[in-house]
Amino acid sequence: MLLLRLAAAAMAARGPSRLQPHGDPSPGWAGGALSATALSQRADLTKVFQPRRPSSGWLGADSSASVLLMDGETSLWIWADTLIGSLGQQGPRQVVGMPHNSLSLWKSNDLSSPPKWGAPSTGDGVIRSCDGNAPCETYYWPINGVREKQGNRVAIACMEVSYTGFLNVTSTTLVVLDNPLLLNRSIYTRHELPLGKSIMWTLGTFRSGTFLYLLGRAMAGTSVHVGRISEETLWAAAAAAGGAPSLEILDGSGQWVEATTVATKGDPAHADAGADIGVLFKATETEGSVVYDESLQLWYWCGLQGIDSNLTLRFSPTVSGWAAGYAVQLPLPPRSDASSVPANEYLNYGCKAHPELTAAAKATKDTAELIFSFNTNTLNASQLAADLELYHPRFVSTQIRVRPPAPQPSSQGKKHPGLSAGTVAAIVVAAVLVAAAVGALLLWRRVDGDGDGGGGSKQDELQVRLELAHGDDL
């Protein structure tokens, strides 16, 4: 069960609650600076996915990844462990099953209409790791997904987990839905990723240009890697009803190389399997989502794992430049109810970004509203059934602003913004000393009776005043 996975992650996550940014946080990269407002509750969105009284079928789920479809209005929502059963006018949820994944559709921002759920299923889930009707030996936890550029096919990155052993993630698989609008009746194909048994490719799945990119965490170790698949290759493999697509991985020299050749160099869990870009990533982070924001002109990633009260955002100027980017942590807002569960028994995890929910009209250059969901869980089973604020997505938002670098001055200008405060102070002190020296020289010349001193002293005084004015402008 996902509860067991979260328990393990929660124990590993104990420690400092603040992540130290890589380098000087202000300025961040390219001389710019980033600011973020405190997270705001989005109760309007949370209410849409909260179980309603009375109801039957879907009673909650985690993961909450969304993919905007071709019509620009409908989103496919992809869920992991899903509670099914019934909920009366009063009392707790009556859970009768927990399939390991489910699908739903929702008209984005239509707050008056509930999502359309696929027919409740039992056992392995809607997306199965094997053919036929018999129980599979493994099951899928869907983590994130991306739609093809021209069409409605959706590729979903899934952890493949064995029913035997403790939290035994055996591989990472891409599942391609042929027609997400059909939900449970959609035809899908399974594609085990190269290095999928060594790298958990679930930190983020996103598209840029003609490639589908994946961020992955080494299953044994702490390194983070970036891989890419040609979209043409992936959709061809889907049309052929299976097969592993060709995957390239960024190596230590910054070159894209075939993953099949990387695997022969040594243990893929370490940096020799490719460039480790995980400077800003915590060792416990195994899932998230990556989005490019046009207003900010930056890629961003959100993460939240284990017993943590902070949502982590990471920003990068390129698809592989996370180590040179900037990270910020934002405290989660308090829950809206007066829960009796102690704060240290909560498990906050599974942050996902939802760009399709943002108000595009409010976005301006260098400023954007970002909306995220996450799941709050507890190890207390009775509390999980009774507390309807648990085990469904909670939504929050923040305003991000990027201040661009200051413009470079003209070579003929007087200002030099690149000088440090110490240098400026030294220039001012030197100018004052020069002024004092000039004054003393003038007084000496007057006492000495030197008639040539008048004209020369005015020239020196003018020069000193120019230097002082120059220093004041720095």
pLDDT in tens, 422-436: 554 555 445 545 455
Residue 61, pLDDT score: 96
Residue 341, pLDDT score: 55
How far is CA 422 from each of CA 427, 428, 436, 474, rounded to the nearest angstrom?
9, 10, 21, 11
* Low-confidence spans in the chain with pLDDT less than 50: 1-31, 264-273, 338, 411-419, 421, 424, 428-429, 432, 434, 437-474
Rounded to whole angstroms, how far apart are CA atoms 243 and 236? 10
- Model confidence, pTM: 0.79
Which tens digits make up the pLDDT trace of 141-153? Answer: 999 999 999 999 9
Query: Is residue 34 within 8 Å of residue 28, measured between CB atoms?
Result: yes
Rounded to whole angstroms, how far apart are CA atoms 419 and 300? 32
Residue 337, pLDDT score: 55
Query: Is residue 391 within 8 Å of residue 374, measured between CB atoms?
Result: no
Number of Cβ within 10 Å of residue 309's Cβ equals 15
Residue 269, pLDDT score: 41
Which tens digits make up the pLDDT trace of 112-151? Answer: 888 999 876 668 899 999 998 888 999 999 999 999 999 9
Residue 443, pLDDT score: 38
Pair of tokens at residue 257: 């190389």
Residue 276, pLDDT score: 67
> How many residues belong to the chain?
474
Residue 355, pLDDT score: 95
